[in-house]
């Protein structure tokens, strides 16, 4: 105690402590990913297999692609303070629209892809307009839009129909080294979105609107524009995911999206990646980390032959633990002045 009174703390000292602050959320995501990779590699070894073999890495990158596309879009709408629950239905619709137009013919690839993307963009535009002009929260707006699409799919398609062009199927299964072309495309798209968030006014305004719409408005930002464009892009990314699925299965399916549970898994991946569910804070880099965590987990659980129910159990556990850690980190902002509470103590401490 006397030590404190004789050595008054300067502002500089406090600042230094801030600088040695713990990892950012994004860094933490990759630390967790690294740990999971190490553990997975060891577990894989026990089965006399190599985690880092070309085949296994290919499998992981393949698994990342569809969820990756959807999660990129989901990151945008969540950053803007909205949410998109219609992504699985958009993806299903895309497989049917594109598969229907292609009908197995290489001549129709471009037309099929563009039409599917345009349809998705229109759906995203509708969601965006509902969210901004009618002031309906994204959760409800896209739940409604998702149900509408789901109803349309159920009443118009009795089962799988349409057929992917051979070119598209071939594109889906080829790649460079350990990475399928589609995965490379997904990473490039993630990079572009990352750059746009960082270097364009649109990106800055997206963060601003998601962080605090009133503040953004008072600063002269057109608050509707970033939200609408985020919804359009999200739907387009869902369509890219749908096209990826089409390239793998070869046929259009009205239920492939909802079977993948991409709505909830994409939100989980985004949040796992350190993005604030309330909006205004987060990054694409983190989201890709979240997607990778899911892919690696699935991979190692597949290798270990774990039953599907236990898989969901593990996924759920990871989501809850991760978000609990983030929540605690954002609460404890004030540095302790006296003593250092043990890590265990701070975890066990009753919440304020």
Mask 171-200, x = binds another protein (CB under 8 A)?
A: ---------------------------xxx
Most distant pair of Cα atoms in the chain: their distance? 83
Q: Is 347 in the site for another protein (CB under 8 A)?
A: no
| Residue from 121, 185, 211, 311 in contact with another protein (CB under 8 A) | 211
Report the Cα 10 to chain-centroid distance in Å: 42
> Is residue 284 a contact partner of residue 190, using CB atoms and an 8 Å limit?
yes
State the nearest-atom distance from the C-beta of 336 to another protein, in Å: 3
State the nearest-atom distance from the C-beta of 84 to another protein, in Å: 21
Non-local CB neighbours of 10 within 8 Å, separated by 6+ positions: none
Q: Extract the tokens encoding 141.
A: 């707006």
Rounded to the nearest 5°, which phi and psi values hold at 321? -60, -45
Q: Is 11 in the site for another protein (CB under 8 A)?
A: yes
Q: Is 201 in the site for another protein (CB under 8 A)?
A: yes
State the nearest-atom distance from the C-beta of 342 to another protein, in Å: 11
Q: Which is nearer to another protein, 60 or 79 (CB)?
A: 79
| Residue from 38, 114, 188, 215 in contact with another protein (CB under 8 A) | 215
| Residue from 207, 265, 294, 326 in contact with another protein (CB under 8 A) | 207
User: Distance of CA 329 to CAs 19, 32, 274, 309, Å?
Assistant: 15, 15, 11, 31
| Residue from 35, 45, 317, 341 in contact with another protein (CB under 8 A) | 341
| Residue from 114, 188, 317, 336 in contact with another protein (CB under 8 A) | 336
Q: DSSP H helical segments within the chain, as ranges?
A: 2-6, 11-19, 25-46, 54-79, 87-102, 109-133, 138-156, 166-173, 181-199, 201-211, 213-218, 224-249, 256-260, 262-272, 284-304, 308-331, 343-348
Q: Which is nearer to another protein, 273 or 280 (CB)?
A: 280
How many residues touch another protein (CB under 8 A)? 38
State the nearest-atom distance from the C-beta of 80 to another protein, in Å: 13
Per-residue burial over 240-258, b = 16 or more CB atoms within 10 Å of its CB, e = otherwise: bbbbbbbbbbbbbbbbbbb
Rounded to the nearest 5°, which phi and psi values hold at 180? -65, 150
Q: Is 8 in the site for another protein (CB under 8 A)?
A: yes
Length of the chain: 352
Mask 239-278, x = binds another protein (CB under 8 A)?
A: -------------------------------------x--
Q: Which is nearer to another protein, 212 or 255 (CB)?
A: 212
Binding site for another protein (CB under 8 A): 1, 4-5, 8-9, 11, 18, 198-201, 203-205, 207-208, 211-212, 214-216, 218-221, 276, 280-281, 333-334, 336-341, 350, 352
């Amino acid at each position: 105690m006397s030590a404190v009174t004789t050595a008054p703390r300067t502002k500089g000292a406090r600042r230094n402590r801030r600088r040695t602050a713990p990892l950012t959320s994004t860094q933490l995501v990759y630390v967790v990913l690294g740990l999971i990779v190490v553990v997975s590699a060891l577990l894989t070894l026990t089965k006399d297999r190599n985690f880092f073999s070309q085949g296994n890495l290919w499998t992981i990158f393949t698994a990342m692609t569809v969820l990756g596309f959807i999660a990129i879009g989901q990151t945008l709408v969540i950053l803007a303070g909205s949410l998109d629950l219609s992504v699985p239905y958009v993806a299903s619709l895309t497989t049917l629209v594109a598969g229907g137009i292609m009908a197995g013919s290489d001549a129709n690839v471009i037309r099929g892809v563009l039409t599917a993307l345009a349809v998705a963009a229109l759906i995203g535009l509708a969601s965006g307009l509902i969210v901004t002009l009618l002031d309906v929260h994204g959760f409800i707006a896209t739940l409604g839009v998702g149900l509408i699409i789901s109803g349309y799919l159920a009443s118009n398609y009795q089962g799988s129909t349409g057929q992917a062009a051979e070119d598209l199927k071939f594109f889906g299964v080829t790649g460079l080294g350990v990475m399928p072309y589609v995965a490379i495309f997904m990473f490039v798209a993630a990079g572009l979105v990352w750059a746009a968030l960082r270097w364009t006014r649109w990106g800055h305004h997206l963060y601003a609107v998601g962080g605090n719409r009133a503040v953004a408005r008072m600063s002269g930002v057109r608050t509707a524009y970033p939200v609408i464009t985020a919804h359009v892009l999200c739907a387009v990314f869902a369509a890219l995911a749908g096209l990826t699925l089409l390239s793998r299965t070869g046929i259009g399916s009205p239920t492939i999206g909802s079977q993948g549970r991409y709505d909830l898994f994409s939100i989980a991946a985004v949040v796992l990646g350190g993005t604030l569910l309330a909006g205004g804070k987060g990054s694409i880099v983190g989201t890709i980390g979240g997607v990778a965590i899911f892919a690696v987990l699935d991979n190692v659980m597949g290798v270990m032959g774990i039953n599907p129910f236990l898989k969901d159990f593990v996924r759920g556990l990871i989501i809850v633990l991760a978000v609990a850690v983030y929540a605690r980190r954002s609460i404890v902002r004030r540095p302790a002045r006296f003593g250092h509470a043990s890590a265990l103590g701070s975890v066990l401490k009753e919440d304020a």
